[in-house]
Amino acid sequence: MRMLAGAGGAALVALVLVGTVILVRAGGDGEETDPPAGRTGGTLAMTAPALLGSGGQIDPSHSYSGTERFLGKQLYTGLTAVGTDGRIRNMLATEIRPEESCREWHIVLRDGTTFSDGQPVDAEAFSRGWVRAASTEEGAGPYLMSDIEGFDAVASGDADAFSGVKASPNGLSVRLTSPNCDFPARLADPVFAPLPSSAGEPDDTAFNAHPIGNGPFKLESYTSAKEAVLVRNDAWAFGKTKLDRVEIRLVPDAALSRGMFQSDDVGWSHLTGMEDVRSVGDDPSFVSRPAPFVRMLVPLTARGPMESREARLAVSYALDREALAGLSGGVHLPAHGLVPRSLPGFGRPGPCPSCDAANAERAKQLAAEADLGTGTEIRLSYRTSPAERNLADVVKARLESVLGWKVEMKATPVAEFARFRDDLVSDEASGLALFAWGPDYASPYTMLWPLLGGTLVATDENDYYNLSGWKNGRFDELMGQAVRTASGQERTDLYRQAEKAALDDMALIPLVNEGRAALAGDGYVHLEMDYDGDPTLATAALK
């Protein structure tokens, strides 16, 4: 599952390179940025996690999460991008304009751009790429494109074009099955990238292993499960990268990655999968940032002790989130809400008083109001990954020491997610469950609605993720209003109100906002982490 693989929302790095680059926020004004400092030329050797579920294919149609998405962001530039600040900016789209309802969108394309082989990047190229992605079951297309009119026919092979996508000489018009004013954020995902005519069908293994793109870099070579080598794409629409070359070593674990950095084999070393980075946290090369990903407790509200709001608040006040975040060695941060802090306007103290500081006395008072005194038995379900096991142990200890409850631990092997979910939606389920989620793209909607929507309550007859069973008419109303609100600020305010409604009732109990960590060499400038935690290769340069 995407959210269990640690993927955040759909994102592209905001790319600012040599020359004057105009980055346009969707619906906003352009702003000029100075070219980055640093030398032109040179090579960056780096590590990246081994590919996850694409079968070694690195074309954007198969892009789903992890390194596949990272490579897609280097090889392709799409209509929009997610900046390091989490805001959406136009890239090859010079204008993205919705009709009043946000159901139909009109996109104007930047003129004169090409793929690295000289083919034009035009409306047909985007249409071609979207059809290929929609037809690729292993990629992100089937869920990010499912509300574009005509998706079902394209995905099934009954049509070779979306009925809701029309190409014109200067752009595209897109019609959705329902209004969504967050649509431009979705377009930043690599599955919405343009493709040249040489792309062929989704099972074209030659193209899938050596895709031709229009991004800041092009692929020089790729050896499955071993290495991808990128070189500067001189035809990129936004200038030229400072780096000549990037050698990406695909390694299976963070320990090997760290060893390669310490032996000076690489200048950037990912620490993905390292549960405790305290041993490297004091290294001057250590860098980290919050990721669009939150770990939480799901209270099963349909029955049992968590049916009571007071009981859920008692749990929240009892927990020490600083200690929970500390389990990662400082990479993770205490969660102050449900929406990750990497999205603008979210994740800061205030909306959730019980999240901001532990309060044992208040926790005991609320537990008493819920008639859950000392000796209350409660189940805590979790999966047996090291991260969840450590969190579960600390949560158990805290609930027992502060509230005097008896916590029964129920573990499910990490590979058996379907069983874990089935247990939580069964008629006998009760208590709390550790869970994690990240938005599918840079919008609060895909964080809040799948987990709490009143029409998405999970059962054994569907594949929904409202595992808590919580329903709230006011929340549903605010979410429906937000996704149909064209003004970005007004939309954010409505999402914040919806999040507050859920937090006031403690429908989900936030624990930690996950982070991403790496080791970065001191011989580079502008080598930072983007919204996803990937290195900003397009802006990086040797000192």
Q: Note the pLDDT tens digit of each residue in 37-60.
A: 799 999 999 999 998 777 889 999
Residue-by-residue DSSP string for 378-425 = EEEEEE-SHHHHHHHHHHHHHHHHHH--EEEEEEE-TT-HHHHHHHHH
In 3D space, the residue among 447, 417, 442, 408 whose CA is nearest the CA of residue 530 turns out to be 442
The CA angle 12-17-19, to the nearest 5 degrees, is: 145
The Cα 173–Cα 164 span in angstroms is 8
pLDDT of residue 10: 29
Task: Say how many C-beta atoms besides its own lie within 10 A of residue 487's C-beta.
Answer: 11
Assigned token pair, 297:
């407790």
pLDDT of residue 490: 97
pTM of the model: 0.91
Write out 256-320 in H/E/C secondary structure.
Answer: HHHHHHHCCCCCEEECCCCCCCCCCCCCCCEEEEEEEEEEEEEECCCCCHHHCHHHHHHHHHHCC
The Cα 110–Cα 307 span in angstroms is 54
The Cα 190–Cα 478 span in angstroms is 30
pLDDT of residue 145: 98
- Domains defined along the chain, listed by start: 3-273+521-542 (3.40.190.10), 291-516 (3.10.105.10)
The Cα 141–Cα 189 span in angstroms is 9
Helix (H, G, I), strand (E, B) or coil at 437: strand
**Does residue 530 contact residue 520 with C-beta atoms inside 8 Å?**
no
Which residue positions in the chain have pLDDT lower than 70?
Answer: 1-36, 275-276
Q: Note the pLDDT tens digit of each residue in 300-344.
A: 999 999 999 999 999 999 999 999 999 998 899 999 999 999 999
Distance between first and last Cα of the chain: 40
pLDDT of residue 36: 56
Assigned token pair, 89:
């900016």
The CA angle 463-458-296, to the nearest 5 degrees, is: 100
Q: Note the pLDDT tens digit of each residue in 172-209.
A: 999 999 999 999 999 999 999 999 999 999 999 999 99
Helix (H, G, I), strand (E, B) or coil at 434: strand
- Helices and strands per DSSP (H, E), number in the chain: 16, 21
